Structure formats: structure tokens, C-alpha cells
Structure 1
Amino acid sequence: MNAQKRCLLVRLLLAGAGILLAQLPGLAAAQEKPVAGGTLNMLVQPEPPSLMLGLNQLGPTQFAASKIYQSLLTYGPDLKPLPSLASAWTISPDGLTYTFVLHKNVKWHDGKPFTSADVVFSADKFLREVHPRLRALMNQRVESVKADGDDKVVFRLKEAFHPFIYAFEVSTMPMVPKHIYDGTDYRINPANNTPIGTGPFKLKEWKRGAYIHLVKNPDYFKPGLPYLEEIYLRVIPDAASRAVAFERGTVDVLRGGDVENFEVRRLQKLPNVGVTTAGWEMFSPNLWLQMNLRKAPFDKKEVRQAILHAMDRNFVVKNIFFNVGKVATGPISSATLYYDKNVPAYPYDMAKAKKMLADAGVKPGDYTIKVLPIPYGSVWDRLGEYTKQQLEQLGFKVTIEATDPGGWAKKVSDFDFDLTMNFLYQYADPAIGVTRNYVSTNIIKGTPFGNNHGYSNPEVDRLLGAAPLLKGADARQRMYSEAQRILVDEVAVGYLVEMQYATLYRTKVHNLVTTGIGLNETLDNVWIAK
């Protein structure tokens, strides 16, 4: 399914949920002349634990830090690559060599020049060590990264790997300054608190619990940009208060998830308010229960299968996400390449779930399960409570662990959990966004976005490793289909919801969503009508 069809499908689904869809903010402004200046007020929730995008890829960090950091490419709504720090690129006929020509006169926020040496350091040293998604990709696929002069970088692959072109999105391969990080302990470098990027906005102030204040980078390499003078990312913990802030005009934009889905239908009817579901084409987030497979009773496949049968996923979509989303069937979202719907099904059946536990010789009353909800607001609290309720119906003893985003990330990173919820972005191709969650080589402490549940199956490792190397799409589909069948049968994680989002905005804000990464863009061409 191409990007236009995917976008149409999402629009039809959301229209059915009562969400009216406006024209893209970027298209609405096509006939108007941009105006420089102004302040854009947005929300960031929950407050990110860090703005150092190379070290932390939580959703709020990606959103906030993508105005500070950049990568070599960005991607259109059709997921075709577009220039960012690279002005041009070529791929050799054999698919082994990717050559990027960098924009000239790019500077870091401290005034130092950005060169090919920074790209080599970022991709081949810094991110290869600390970034879970890119680390796996670099170690498995990339033979070398070398500079060719100050303005050219050459990536040489071990073998042809067609999804590699998607690896240059900003949260996957953010550029970090070599002169600040080389030779240091990356994780405790003081610069992590005062991030230095090449982006159109610089960090001026972070008042914890109140706002993150970004200001215009006067040395930005794109002439005349950014249009905005400053951006405030305001921290408002309560969803109802965030809705009020938008209603009163305190904030200009609501990202998907900033308010309850039922509020979207009310707020979009306000005067001079637009809504769009565009900007998620690259991500297609897939939500699931993450069970620690190292711990009993989750080490038994039958237990995981029983738990999935005990979760009424239609109820979750309808009553927790208010129909903004659809039931997930497996590890690959239906809007992503190589999706296969022909996998084992787990209809809601509490009686069957209880019988499966009994047949497996598992006595639920012998176990106390700690449920660790993802700490992103009330919808996640409700999902945690619902999960607790369903597990208790199975006979387990259940407690809820409450934590903040930083605490949640540390617990998941350290494998210190029983059962949690997580959602991962798919990044256009399963080789980039999906494989990392299931291959045994990515069971590594230190990140919440790898194979933290400890799933290991040599056949899945083989299938996911070999599929992207095949030349034909049909051959790749066969391998990915088999991997999906195994993963769903074994309930590597408990697939729940294909998440969908709507963005609300004041119609005076133009060019807000123009690419496939939406509000995770730099926003360098956003402007506000006077």
C-alpha cells in the first residue's frame, strides 16, 4: 500500500470515529506569503528526561530535541528522502555505497563548523555505542563510514540493504558535535544538559516543570529561516488542563496524545482551529504489552497466549483510545511494508485463557505481577488499570507501579520489570523499526527501546536478518510473513493497538505539518500570520 493510500485509510478510520479532517497546514498556506517573527506555543508531555537525542529516544525527547538536532535527511509524506544536512546523495548501482554531500556553511550552535568528521563520529562512534536502533543497524550492516573531504561522507555496507536509506531520520541518526563528545563518557558529558545542535532553534532555558524555551538560531544555514523567533514547549501535566490551555489560546498546537481523544472532537469545532492526521507516515506506532520473558510465569508461551486472550482489545480501542486506532494483529503495523494479516488470532475469551493456564500447570495465585504503566498520562493509567483487572480475573495477584518517564525508562532499560506497555515506531520498513525488538543480538541493557523483554528464537533471528537482503519484494514478504507468524504464535509481546493521532492547531499557524515525520520536524519553515 503506497503512502497516499495509507493516508486515505487513516483519514477514513478517523472520520468514522467522529474526527473531522482539515487540509494539511502546509497546503493551507500555499497562497500566502510567510511572515517572520512570532512565538509558537506548544506542549511537551510528559516532560522529557533529557534533550540529548542521541542518548534518549523517548517520544517527548524526539519531539522537543528535533528542533535542536538534525540528521542528513528527512522524509516526505510519501516517505521519499528529502535534504536536511545533506544537500545531495547517491546510491551505487550495487547498493553497497551511499555517498552524501553536506550543505556548506553549517555551524554548530557554539559557532564551530559542522563537517564530515562530525558525521563519521556521530554514526560510526557515538551512536554505534549508545543508540539501540542504530547500533544494531550499524553493527550488522555497515562496513565503514569515511569522510571524503570536509563536505562528503561515504557509508559502505557489508551487503546490499535496501532499507538503509530510511536510517537518516533525525531520531535514528542525529548528528552530535565531535568536538564536544569525542574522548568523553557520552552518558555523563555536561553538554547533555545544554544540547548543542545544528538546528534552527537553540535551547535558551529549561525551567523544569514549566517550559522549555527555544530561540531562533541566527546562524542557521538556510537563508531567511527559521521564520519563528521562539518556541515555548510548555509542561502541563493534566490532560484536562492542556485542553483548557488550547481552548483559551495559551497554546497554539495540540499534538496527538496531548488531550483525551474525546476532547479532539470538541476542540476541533472551535473557531479558527484545524485538525490533521498527517505527519505519522514514518512512525505508524504499534502498542503492546511487554512481558519480561526471563521471569515466571512469562517464560511459558501458554501464559503469554492466555494473557492475550484475556485482553479485550476491541474494548481497549473503543473505551480507552475512543476509537482512534485499531486492533493490532502482530509486530508489523498494517500501514507498514510487509504487513501480513494471516497470523494466529487471539479473540477475547476469558474462559479459554483460564483453561490454557490450567493445562499448562500454572497456578495464577502463586504469582504477584507488578504492572508498570507507561507514564504518558491518563489514557495510559487507564490501560494499566484495565490490564490489572484482566490479570486479576485470571487469578494473578497484581500491583501497579507508578513512575515518571525517566524512572520508567531506567526500569525497562535495566530489565527491572514484570509487565509494562510500550510502543515503537516502525520507521517505514520493518528492518529499521521492527527487527530491533525481536533479534537476540539486541538484548542489551541500557535502552528502553530494544529487545528488553528478552525474546530469543534463532529462526526469527535468521528470517529478520535475511529478509531485507533479498532483492525481490515478494521474497522479502515471504520471510517477513513467516517471522510474523512465529512472533504472534509465541506472543513475543502482546499486540494491542495500532495507534493513530490527530494534531489540532490554530489556523494562523502555517506549514506546521509538511513531511512524513510531522511535528518531529525542525519547524524551520513554520510561520504565524499576524
Structure 2
Amino acid sequence: MFRHCLRSFLAACVVVMAGVHPALAQTLTIAWPQNVGTVNPHLYSPEQMFAQAMVYEGLVRLGDDGRIEPALASAWTMSEDGRRYRFTLREGVRFSNGDPFDAQAVADNVRAILENRARHEWLALIEQIERVEAIDARTVEFVFKSAYYPVLQELALVRPMRFMAPSAFGADGGTRNGIRAPIGTGPWKHVETRLGEYDVFERNDGYWGKPAGYQRVVVKVIPDPTSRAIALQTGEVDLVYGMGGLLAPDAFEQFRRMPGYTATLSPPYEGLSLALNTAHGPTRELAVRRAINHAVDKDTLVASVLHGSQRRADFLFNRNVPYADSVSLTSYAYAPARAEALLEAAGWLRPRPGAVREKDGARLTVELLYTGTDGVMKSLAEVLQADLAKAGIGVALRAEEAGSVQARMRDGRFGMVFNRTWGAPYDPHAYVGSMRSPSHADYQAQRGLPEKAALDADITRVLSTVDEAERRTLYARILRTLHEEAVYLPLTEVGAIAVARAALGEIPFAPMSSELPLARMQPPSGEARR
């Protein structure tokens, strides 16, 4: 109890030091595992995406209904061949330092992004850009090397195609080596950081759109999920929102039942699956991959490990993903007997009851790679190990630190590995497009397929065709191939959690998993904030 009191006292001190008067200011305090970084809109980790989205905006944005809406651009047109997009910029927009937002600022930002083109190779939009021209102060034109249908979707992403004041670029006149200050057009300004403790955002009172309800947001750095739950209970923070294990599933369930708190789950954003390596080990065999799909009891996994905080998935993409919603596929039902029959027919036999199956002197053992510091992932891995053991499939668990896991995913040193789709507006096009890159686990998982070259050719074509009917046909063929070849074991559909003090009212969900809806939240009426 003393520790909790001390923690609360120190938290109040932090807010006061950040310039927040406890009786007058309207401050929302949230928890996050780490500091937000320098808030450079054109770089990646350790830059935190939600912070980039608070400060910077794109020409367009993703609406709540999943459609692309105007943002810094008020209108746009596309040429008949799909290679030119001309944007009319919104009038009267200024950066938070007072600089005007105009076509030249857009062109300067795109130049800075293209100077670091290799870092953005995962995003096909960047490679497609031939040039960007400022036609006049309020008109900018993008010219692409070829037609690329997801232009607007990728312009809506949190990074890298968002815009900062060119006067705040780094000393080299660009952004790839750092920036002078995080100056954007968005509803928030990043005003203070203390490493390992907190970040502070203030409302941008010169924002062109609807102003944020809160004056300040304090982001407290709390690395551990259990500590984040305690911080909610003690009042140290008001809200925990997001994905990726911010709270343990059992803690989320406890908050659901606890008076004085709201705990809600968003519609699914992403899909969690295991990628099965078709070029390495026993999973080279289709029968083994299909048996794995039939051997896992997903409903029990969701109930026992995740406490209902995620939903069972039967396909790589959630059914609310464009183009995936119209593809007719038959799910791999939980059928242990079917799994065993597939393995028997493929020659994988048990040397004795309960033993791991063998064929030609080789044991049917598959390595499952996961991040060792992720407690939920560890629990999922252990449940999967137990389920597959019943079918005679041995699973060797390999827990490594996150960087090592990423390295192994890039070069294919895995048997099975946890993998997630990216959510709107990336899915399906950006995720599918990345399957052609050898640095992605999906490419490595698919590398052993005889039809890999044809699959990649279909992906290239689906991204460039301007014929909607052809696009649907190609997506259907791509997704059917991946499903019938059992390259993935779909596990769950993953949403964001929002756990807050009940006084905050209903917490809205952002349309993208990488954003937090902080600008849309309103302080409780009449409540004095600390």
C-alpha cells in the first residue's frame, strides 16, 4: 500500500512539473510501455505511431466507415490511366508554429521521404512515386510510374506520408537524420519528454479542425502490464487503450467486472496467425500443414488464454477486410481425427501410442518461434504445443528476444512463427504486397510453394490494375491459394482494448489500430482534473 501511495504522489509531482496545475488544467493521463520518441513523421521504431498521428496529418484519412475522407486535401482527381493524382489543399491550414501549409511544404516533405527511399521499401507507394509537383500554393500533383490502385489508402497511413513544417527539418535539410522539432498541423503538440518517465502533449489551439477536448495528454511510461493495471486501480492513469498486450487478458476481464471502470473491446483490426514455413522442415508437406490447421482447438484457446479478449479466426484476413469479404473459402474445422488421418496417409506414423510421429527415420517436430518476453504469446505457444502433441506433432518452443525473432523471420529460420496482418487501411493490399519482399516472414513462409512465382505475379498485377472486376478475381485467386496451401494457421481476430475510469464515459475507438482517439474524447463535465 505504501508503494502505491508513493507512486501516486510521484505521479502527481510529474504532472505538476510538466506545467499542469492540478485544480485548473484538463489533463488526460494514459499509460504506454515506452517513450514516444522524437516524433519524426518519416521514421520508424522507436517512434511511436500513435504519437505521430497526434501531431501530423496526411492529405487524406480513414473514416469510421472505412472509407477515405479529405484531411489536409479538400478534394482530388485521378487521371484516366491512374498515374496522376491532383490534390486541392485545404485553405487556411497552418503548422503549429504558424508556418503556412501549402503545396511546396508537401513537395518538400515528399523529397525528404524519397531521400530515405530504401527505408520505406516495404510500402509500394514510395517506390511508385516518379515526382511530386507544386502546381500553385493550393494544388499539388503526384505522378506515379504506373497505375497503383491503393494510392489513397497508403496516403492515409500514419507514416511515412505525413507532413511537418519544412522549417523544422534537420540540419541537413531533410528528416532521415533527425529533425529540429516535431511541428505538424494536427490537433496536438509534443511539448515535453522525460526519458523513462513521461511525455506531454498540449492541445494545438490553432488547429484547423475541431479542437481536442482535453488541454493536455500525459503519457506515463509504464513498461509492465501488471504495473499498468495497478496504475489504473490507484488512479495514477485514467486510460489504457491499444493493442499488443497493454493489459493481460485476465486483468482486462477483471476490469470488465469491476465497478467504477469501463472495459470495452473494439471490432477486430488485425488477424493473428502462425506462418508455417513451406521451405523448411516437416511443414514443407501440405498434409502436415493441413493437419496442423485441423488439430488446434481455437475456441478453448480463446477462452482459456485470452479470456474472450480476442475472437476465433478461420481465415488469414478478417471478414471485414475489403476483397476478403467476398472470397468463398471453407474453414479448417477443429477435427483431431481428420488431422491424424492426414498424417497417417502421408506416412507419418507413431512408433508407439502417444509418441511423436516419424517417417523415414525423421521425427515430426516443428519449431515454434515466439518473443520470450511476451507472456500471452508464451501461453498461446504452450496451448498450441499441447494440442499438436495430441495429433503426434512435436513442437519445440523457441523463445527469443524481439530483435532476434525479427531477424529469424526475415531470413526464414523458423518452422512456425506468430504473425499478424496490419489492419485498415493496410489490408489487404499493403500486407499482400509485402509478401513479395524476402525480408518478410510471409515471403519466407511461402518460399517453398511451387506456385510462388505465379502468386507474386498475381500480387503485382492486383496492385496495378484499374479494372475492379479483374482486381476481385485476382484477390480471390491469391487468398484461395494461400488458404488451400495452408500456409497459415489463423488463430484470432484482434481488436483494441479501452479500459478507463467510468467517469470518462464511453471511449470511442479509432478507425486505425495505430491511432488513439484522444482528440475525440471530452473531459467529464464539471470534474476538476488533476
Deviation at residue 523 of structure 1 after TM alignment: 3.2
Q: Distance in 2 between matches of 1:451 and 1:182?
A: 36
Specify every segment of 5 or more residues in structure 2 that has no aligned partner in the other structure, as ranges: 1-22, 349-357
Change (3 A) 1:185 1:156: closer
Q: Distance in 2 between matches of 1:216 and 1:229?
A: 6
Show CA shifts across 1:165-212 (max 9, x none).
2112243444366632868894xx3559x866554231622423xx44
Specify which structure has the bigger relative contact order, considering alpha-carbon pairs within 8 angstroms and separated by 6 or more residues. Answer: 1
Change (3 A) 1:429 1:205: closer
The corresponding residue for 1:10 is none
Q: Which amino acid aligns with 1:342?
A: S
Deviation at residue 267 of structure 1 after TM alignment: 2.3
Show CA shifts across 1:103-153 (max 9, x none).
555337798978123332255443x4223542x2443x5444333345533
Query: Structure 1-normalised TM-score?
Result: 0.75
Deviation at residue 286 of structure 1 after TM alignment: 0.8
| Contact map agreement 1:460 1:483 (CA 8 A) in 2 | yes
Which residue of the other structure, out of 430, 434, 453, is the alignment partner of 1:458? 453
1:73 counterpart = 2:63: no
The corresponding residue for 1:249 is 235
The corresponding residue for 2:108 is 118
Which residue of the other structure, out of 351, 376, 383, is the alignment partner of 1:379? 376
Deviation at residue 46 of structure 1 after TM alignment: 7.2
Which residue of the other structure, out of 392, 395, 398, is the alignment partner of 2:396? 398
Q: Which amino acid aligns with 1:487?
A: L
The corresponding residue for 2:189 is 201
Q: Distance in 2 between matches of 1:117 and 1:39?
A: 36
Deviation at residue 481 of structure 1 after TM alignment: 2.0
Q: Which amino acid aligns with 2:120?
A: H
The corresponding residue for 1:23 is none
Change (3 A) 1:326 1:113: closer
Deviation at residue 41 of structure 1 after TM alignment: 1.4
Q: Distance in 1 between matches of 2:183 and 2:340?
A: 54
Give the paired residue count. Answer: 478
Which residues in structure 2 correspond to 1:293-308 (within 5 Å)? 293-308=278-293
1:99 counterpart = 2:86: yes
The corresponding residue for 2:214 is 228
| Contact map agreement 1:133 1:450 (CA 8 A) in 2 | no
Show CA shifts across 1:474-528 (max 9, x none).
5533332222211011122222222233423345547953652277057345442
Which residue of the other structure, out of 329, 339, 345, is the alignment partner of 1:343? 329
Specify every segment of 5 or more residues in structure 1 that has no aligned partner in the other structure, as ranges: 1-34
| SS of corresponding position for 2:54 | coil
| Contact map agreement 1:325 1:498 (CA 8 A) in 2 | yes
Deviation at residue 87 of structure 1 after TM alignment: 4.3
1:500 counterpart = 2:492: no
1:520 counterpart = 2:515: yes
| SS of corresponding position for 2:294 | helix
Q: Which amino acid aligns with 2:217?
A: I
Deviation at residue 154 of structure 1 after TM alignment: 1.5
Query: Structure 2-normalised TM-score?
Result: 0.75
Which residue of the other structure, out of 149, 156, 178, is the alignment partner of 2:143? 156
Q: Which amino acid aligns with 1:67?
A: M
Q: Distance in 2 between matches of 1:102 and 1:436?
A: 29
Change (3 A) 1:240 1:87: same
Deviation at residue 335 of structure 1 after TM alignment: 0.9
| Contact map agreement 1:202 1:217 (CA 8 A) in 2 | no
Change (3 A) 1:46 1:107: closer
Show CA shifts across 1:16-40 (max 9, x none).
xxxxxxxxxxxxxxxxxxx994222
Q: Distance in 2 between matches of 1:331 and 1:284?
A: 12
Change (3 A) 1:56 1:514: same
The corresponding residue for 2:30 is 42
The corresponding residue for 2:153 is 166
The corresponding residue for 1:388 is 385
Moved more, 309-318 or 236-245: 236-245
The corresponding residue for 2:119 is 130
Which residues in structure 2 correspond to 1:27-38 (within 5 Å)? 37-38=25-26
Q: Which has the larger radius of gyration?
A: 2
| Contact map agreement 1:71 1:168 (CA 8 A) in 2 | yes
Identity percentage over the alignment?
Answer: 22
Question: For the aligned residues, what is the CA RMSD?
Answer: 4.1
